[in-house]
Structure 1
Amino acid sequence: MSPADTGGGAEAPGGSDALLARMGDLHPSTIDLSLDRTWRLLDALGNPQDRLPPVIHIAGTNGKGSTLAMLRAGLSAAGQRVHAYTSPHLVRFHERIALAGAEISEPALVDVLERTLAANAGQPITYFEATTCAAFLAFAEAEADTLLLEVGMGGRLDTTNVIARPQLTIITPVDLDHQAFLGETRSEIAGEKAGILKRGVPCVVARQEEDALEVIEARAARLGVPLLADGQHWHVWQERGRLVFQDETGLLDLPLPALPGPHQVANAGTALAALRHLGHGEAVCEAAMIGARWPARMQRLAGGLATLLPGGELWLDGGHNPHAAAAMAATLRPRAGDTRPLHLVFGLQGARDAAAVLAPFADLADRLTAVPVPGEAASQPTAALAAAARAHGMAADEADGVDTALTAIASETPRARVLIFGSLYLAGAVLRQQDAL
């Protein structure tokens, strides 16, 4: 289990960090997809999942967090009190649970964690299952108008998939990730994501590859789920520095999303389709575009670690699969007159295919520095990451940390544009270091 999984805040000993650590010891496996343990614990807690505000349930491989952030900005601008559940966190666990627009407080988190541990009575349960049940308890006891609920992994057997009848479901782009748990093909993974569909509940579907869309459409047909699909029921595109969205109710001409990158236009379309379905007008849709904030998603860093690269640019992204890497590469592809070299600082963990993640940068990055993911036993060896980069024609070396890498880059290529990416846990470590400097 990683430091990012077990809290990472600065709370006093015996506070939420200690309780989260106890939760991490209740099951030998950090990932064990099943709903049986979740149902047992929720029942012991009095079934808080049945007392939640209207739920918008969001699954997908990439774009979940960005879509949620835009929805949150729009709904908040509409005057709604919005709960939100996301994972994993970047700096401290409290980020995962937003109550009516504000990060859960330490006393409130300690309270729900203690009650969840007591109700579980020492029985086996995974960390994510236990903490999600605690989040449901917090959401059920704080008034709000909407809960934006992000799936942790997959959908069908994800701990969040206990909501009998959400207000709306959303499936963002599906691609290859977590194959050891979700299936080897995009079709199999789409089947797991489509497991959040509920009979008769509308679903907004982002643009998908055909094999994934076929699976989603087939399940929707079986359950009588009305689909609102990109390219069929709504369209979104960029035109003359603006975002244009069109559905059966008309056309919107909006500012481009505040979140950087051309891929955010597609995520924006998904959020806008949801807001329009919920009956919101142009002002709310515009607020969704300009008000969204989502750390470590093509985030430009200033100060802190960026001071180690005084003549360059420093970017951070938690993307760790080929689809996410392609979006990053598109964002950083040089425009006319842009001569900054691109240098990657890359750390990856688990069984992910480093060569596939790096492929979108093959004709773009000048050099790569491989770094370990701090505190992660499953961090891939830096020598293997550097070898994967060389196989794509990049110059590559290794460093023992991000700060060491940046210092070397600054001495060799002062004007470099640097992207740190490969793992959300690496991104979290960078943001903690950024805050400390």
Structure 2
Amino acid sequence: MTSSDVILERLMALHPKVIDLVLDRVHRLLDALDHPETRLPPVIHIAGTNGKGSTQAMIRAGLEGAGDTVHAYTSPHLARFHERIRLAGELIPEPLLADLLAECEAANGGAPITYFEITTCAALLAFARHPADWTLLEVGLGGRLDATNVVNPALTVITPVSMDHEGFLGDTIAKIAAEKAGILKPGVPCIVGPQEEVALEVIEYRAARLNAPLSVHGQHWHVTEENGGLVFEDETGLMDLPPPRLIGAHQVQNAGMAIAALRELGRAEGAAAAMRDAEWPARMQRLSRGPLVEAAGAAELWLDGGHNLAAGVALAEALGRLPDRPVHLVCGMLNTKDATGYMAPLAERVRALHAVAIPGEINTLPPEATVAAATRAGIPAVEAPSVADAIATIIADDPAARILICGSLYLAGRVLRENG
């Protein structure tokens, strides 16, 4: 049997662009597959710039804590493609994934279609054929023209909107918010996370036109940290919960969106499990084993895949919550990102930065450009040949350092693969 990796390699060649935001090709293939998108367990559809994955992870943990089974679709993957598709809580097995990809490839008949579009169709086909209580779908890019936006959801969620992917979504918060709000559907409720005023106005305008009820942070629900725990309040009442397992003030807001979603779905009994059990790799993740950890010795090793200004702000805040240690960054970014904007909030928290290229990534930012961006942000920086070399250099001078590998999910994925 042909492996999924071989088929995925072929699928990459079906379209000259990695991203081409129209829905025509997806609708054509779904039609050829007899419309699996119409046969899914109830869908929770999640869009936004930051926090989509963490919020989805907490919703999934909450639903499972309430005794339900959950399909989940997310992107990009970190170590293996199989991470993108969870069937009733488990990563999709290789034989099934290979069969589904081959079926979609055959149904597509060699017609132009992007990698994300055809693999999204494969995920929808998997979800339609396997029983579960819920389906969680994370938008890949934007919302309005994203390949996931072919469903009739039971609930939508819009996490905080900020500047990112401007070349595809627009060069203002309002334009980007309009793309995210494209997942709203007539009469379908939407949970709205913390937003800039201009983004909220766009979302509210779209919702009013569709008669889609909104549950908005700061208006209909509130979430705060109190006495080492988390307090959620809406019109139903107060909930005292354990703190989120995921680190950072931004995770408190993500937790609030997850709890608001569970309330809306009638699964509030899973809220404690949402806080306690959620896992989301490469989001301020402490690495605890593997060759890189062994090489680091007494130094702490952390991993984060954030890559825009809002992620830099959140990361700086999360670092400020940890016990005091000298912080060194090992950073690799894509050349499509605002590297200086990402690094600027981190300047007061870190001692130095070691810039690396992302191995195997054609759009990596060259290390010298990363050094220049760090210098503009006020962070002393040098180039390093690899992550392992950077770690070795750091611990030679600072054995008790806190080392944070950061700047890109692609770099994070490479680290997770190589670190076992």
TM-score bracket relative to the smaller structure: over 0.9
Q: Do the aligned residues in 1 keep the contact of 2:344 with 2:378 (CA within 8 Å)? A: no
Residue 405 of structure 2 corresponds to residue 420 of structure 1: yes
Q: Where do 1:240-279 residues align within 5 Å?
A: 240-279=227-266
Deviation at 1:392, TM superposition (A): 2.3
1:294 corresponding residue in structure 2: 280
For residue 368 of structure 1, what is the amino acid of its counterpart? L
Establish whether residue 316 from structure 1 lines up as the match of residue 318 from structure 2: no
Report the Cα distance in structure 2 between the residues aligned to 1:386 and 1:206, rounded to whole angstroms. Answer: 34
Q: Could you give the per-residue CA deviations for residues 386-410 of structure 1, whole angstroms, max 9, x where no partner exists? A: 1111122221101111111001001
Residue of structure 2 equivalent to 1:411 = 396
> Which residue in the other structure is 2:338 paired with?
353
Amino acid at match of 1:299: Q
Q: Which of residues 375, 379, 388 is equivalent to 2:373? A: 388
Overall identity of the aligned pairs, in %? 60
* Structure 1 residue 45 corresponds to structure 2 residue 12: no
Distance 2:344 2:4 in 1: 40
Do the aligned partners of 1:308 and 1:410 also contact (CA within 8 Å) in 2?
no
CA distance in 2, matches of 1:46, 1:52: 13
Q: AA paired with 1:16?
A: S
Distance in 2 separating the partners of 1:161 and 1:272: 23
Q: Which residue of 2 aligns with 1:178?
A: 165
- Determine whether 1:231 maps to 2:218: yes
> Is the partner of 2:365 in helix, strand or coil?
coil
Q: Which amino acid aligns with 1:355?
A: T
> Distance in 2 between the 1:365 and 1:132 partners?
39
Shift of 1:303: 2.2
Q: Does 1:68 align with 2:61?
A: no
Pairing of 1:152-163 with structure 2 (within 5 A): 152-163=140-151
Q: Which residue of 2 aligns with 1:4?
A: none
Instruction: Give the residue type in structure 2 aligned to 1:23.
Output: L
Equivalent residue number for residue 330 of structure 1: 317
Question: How far did 1:277 drift?
Answer: 1.1
**Map of 1:208-223 to 2, 5 A cutoff?**
208-223=195-210
Which among 43, 50, 74 is matched to residue 55 of structure 1? Answer: 43
Distance 1:295 1:256 in 2: 18
**Residue type of the alignment partner of 1:427:** A
**1:146: which partner in 2?**
134
Match of 1:7 in 2: none
* CA-to-aligned-CA distance 1:149-207 (integer Å, 9 cap, x gap): 000000000000001x2100000010011111000111110000000000110000001
Once residues 175 and 414 of structure 2 are traced to their aligned partners in structure 1, the CA distance between those partners, rounded to angstroms, is 32
Give the conservation status (yes or no) of the 8 Å contact 2:70–2:136: yes
Q: Secondary structure of the residue that 1:25 maps to in structure 2?
A: helix
Deviation by residue 1:362-416 (Cα, 9 ceiling, x = unmatched)? 2121100000111001101100111111122221101111111001001011111
Indicate if the aligned counterparts of 1:74 and 1:284 stay in contact, CA closer than 8 A. yes
For the Cα contact (< 8 Å) 2:329–2:350, is it kept in 1?
yes
Q: Following TM superposition, where does structure 1 have runs of at least 4 consecutive aligned residues deviating by more than 3 angstroms?
A: none
Measured in 2, the distance between the counterparts of 1:393 and 1:426 equals 23
Contact 2:248 2:321 in 1 (8 A): no
**CA distance, structure 1, for counterparts of residue 267 and residue 60 of structure 2:** 13
Encode CA deviations 1:46-76: one digit per residue, 9 max, x unaligned.
1110111100000000100100001111101
The offset of 1:261, in angstroms, is 1.5
**What is the rounded CA distance, in whole Å, between the counterparts of 1:133 and 1:391 in structure 2?**
43
Q: Is the 8 A contact 2:144 2:181 kept in 1?
A: yes
Identify which range, 237-246 or 341-350, moves more after superposition.
341-350
Moved more, 307-316 or 225-234: 307-316
Q: Displacement of 1:339 after TM fit?
A: 4.0
* Pairwise CA RMSD: 1.0
Distance in 2 (alpha carbons) for counterparts of 1:218 and 1:51: 30
- In the alignment, the residues of structure 1 paired with residue 377 and residue 126 of structure 2 have an alpha-carbon distance, to the nearest angstrom, of 48
Task: Give the structure-1-normalised TM-score.
Answer: 0.94
Q: Which amino acid is 1:327 matched to?
A: A
* Distance across 2 between alignment mates of 1:388 and 1:412: 23
Structural mapping, 1:26-45, within 5 Å: 26-45=14-33
Match of 1:402 in 2: 387
Q: Provide the secondary structure at the position in 1 that maps to 2:14.
A: coil
2:103 is the counterpart of 1:115: yes
Secondary structure of the structure 1 residue equivalent to 2:419 = helix
Cα distance in 2, alignment partners of residues 114 and 393 from structure 1: 50
AA at the equivalent of 1:24: M
Contact 2:78/2:414, CA 8 A, preserved across alignment: yes
Cα deviation 1:85-134 (Å, max 9, x = unaligned) = 00000000011000011100011101110110000000000000000001
User: TM-score when scaled to structure 2?
Assistant: 0.98
Q: How much does 1:340 deviate?
A: 1.3
Task: Check whether the contact 1:321–1:352 (CA below 8 A) recurs between aligned residues.
Answer: yes
Conservation of the 8 A alpha-carbon contact between 1:296 and 1:427? yes
Shift of 1:334: 5.9
Matched AA of 2:141: M
- Per-residue CA deviation, residues 233-288 of structure 1 (Å, 9 max, x unaligned), is 0000001101000000000000001111121100000000000111123x411011
Cα distance in 2 for residues equivalent to 1:110 and 1:374: 26
Question: What stretches of structure 2 of length at least 5 have no aligned partner?
Answer: none
Asked if the contact 1:70/1:292 (under 8 Å) is kept, the reply is yes
Q: Which runs of 5+ in 1 are unaligned?
A: 1-11
Q: 1:86 aligns with which of 54, 74, 85?
A: 74
In structure 2, what residue type is equivalent to 1:66? Answer: S
Shift, 1:333, TM fit: 1.5
